[in-house]
Structure 1
Amino acid sequence: MTSTARTGNRTARLVGLIGIVAGVVMILAGATTWVTVSSQLDAQNITVSEDADFLAGDTVDGPFSAYAQAQIIDHHALEATGGKTYAELDREDPLRDTAMNASFLRASLFTSVVAYGVSALVIGLGVLFGLFGWALRGLGAEPAAAVATTGPRPTVTQGV
């Protein structure tokens, strides 16, 4: 085997190892974020309103329950303000505080939904990095084994 082939094999194996390590780190980081967001939401003791479209009565501790609670908060706020949003209410309207609080609560819940999405993305990318790294390490090892068992390949020449 030529030194160029050995160097290529070594490089592929090294890049593959880096991919595997990066994948494991990404999976752990994504999972840690998911667990942290879940525990922080759970610590707030929020329950999805009984009149929510879905997950009524569920504890808000995951992406779907956070989304369900954000949706029902919007419904309740619009009901209380006669269908007007914070921006549509007059500055002196006492319902403006209700709309503002609802908006803040919804934004907080949607932030957690986004955090769940990002953590799921990072976990998925970590799996892909790990698989690509594993494949690269396998490809980096294969040519050396093939040359050792079959000998050098014959040179093919083409006629003019």
Structure 2
Amino acid sequence: MSQTVETSRAEGTGGIRAAGIIGIVLGIVFILVGAIAWVAVSSELRAEQITVSDDAPFFPGAEVAGPLTAYSEAEAIRQHVLSMTDGKTYAELDRDDPLRETAATGSYLRTSLFTSVVSFGIALFAIGVGVLAIVLSWGLLLAARRRSVVASPGVGSVESAPAP
């Protein structure tokens, strides 16, 4: 003689399960958006065909395609401008100084490179948030599963599984 045992969800686990599923979906979205942003910024930098200066502090001669090479080239530009202006920044140069335009151009180039560095950071942050959301949401799903109703075979009674 066979016995059918019914199981159902414990009260209150539906919301936890929904939050877990939504969190995992959002985590995947964050990871995808972060990865797309990273690839887009890297692709745009590569399209500019910038090579890190030979006297740069890091990665001399490398193609600018990531946050470290962009930062290194920005520092090289800073050193070049400061050497041309006797250590003065754009703001420190007189308005009629012919090197003021050179300092401004260097500042614009550095700002553009630093914008890409920040963009890489935001993309990496989004990926990290996505991974964290998935891990935490997976934990919610596991917690909901442990709270679900467990049927006791043989007796036919229903009881909640104890939490660890």
The residue type equivalent to 2:120 in the other structure is Y
Instruction: Report whether the alignment pairs 1:121 with 2:128.
Output: no
Compute the displacement of 1:8 (Å).
1.3
Find the counterpart in structure 1 of residue 5 from structure 2: none
The answer to which structure has the higher helix fraction is 1
The residue matched to 1:152 in structure 2 has which SS? Answer: strand
State the alpha-carbon separation in 2 of the partners of residues 152 and 7 from structure 1: 12
Find the counterpart in structure 1 of residue 3 from structure 2: none
Aligned pair partner of 1:40 in 30, 44, 57 = 44
State the alpha-carbon separation in 2 of the partners of residues 57 and 44 from structure 1: 15
Q: Pairwise CA RMSD of aligned residues?
A: 1.6
Instruction: Report whether the alignment pairs 1:82 with 2:86.
Output: yes
Compute the displacement of 1:117 (Å).
0.5
Q: Any conservation in 1 of the 2:52–2:61 contact (CA below 8 Å)?
A: yes
Aligned pair partner of 1:100 in 99, 104, 112 = 104
What are the ranges of 5 or more consecutive residues in structure 1 without an aligned counterpart? 154-160
Instruction: Report whether the alignment pairs 1:152 with 2:159.
Output: yes
Compute the displacement of 1:141 (Å).
1.5
Find the counterpart in structure 2 of residue 158 from structure 1: none
Q: Deviations over 1:29-53 (max 9, x none)?
A: 0000000000000000000000111
Compute the displacement of 1:65 (Å).
0.2
State the alpha-carbon separation in 2 of the partners of residues 100 and 34 from structure 1: 28
Instruction: Report whether the alignment pairs 1:10 with 2:14.
Output: yes
Q: Which runs of 4+ in 1 moved over 3 A?
A: 149-153
State the alpha-carbon separation in 2 of the partners of residues 99 and 8 from structure 1: 64
The residue type equivalent to 1:32 in the other structure is I
Instruction: Report whether the alignment pairs 1:53 with 2:57.
Output: yes
The residue matched to 1:83 in structure 2 has which SS? Answer: coil
The residue type equivalent to 1:135 in the other structure is G
State the alpha-carbon separation in 2 of the partners of residues 77 and 7 from structure 1: 68
State the alpha-carbon separation in 1 of the partners of residues 158 and 144 from structure 2: 18
Compute the displacement of 1:6 (Å).
3.2
Instruction: Report whether the alignment pairs 1:66 with 2:70.
Output: yes
State TM-score, norm by structure 2.
Answer: 0.86
Compute the displacement of 1:151 (Å).
4.6
Which has the larger displacement, 133-142 or 123-132? 133-142
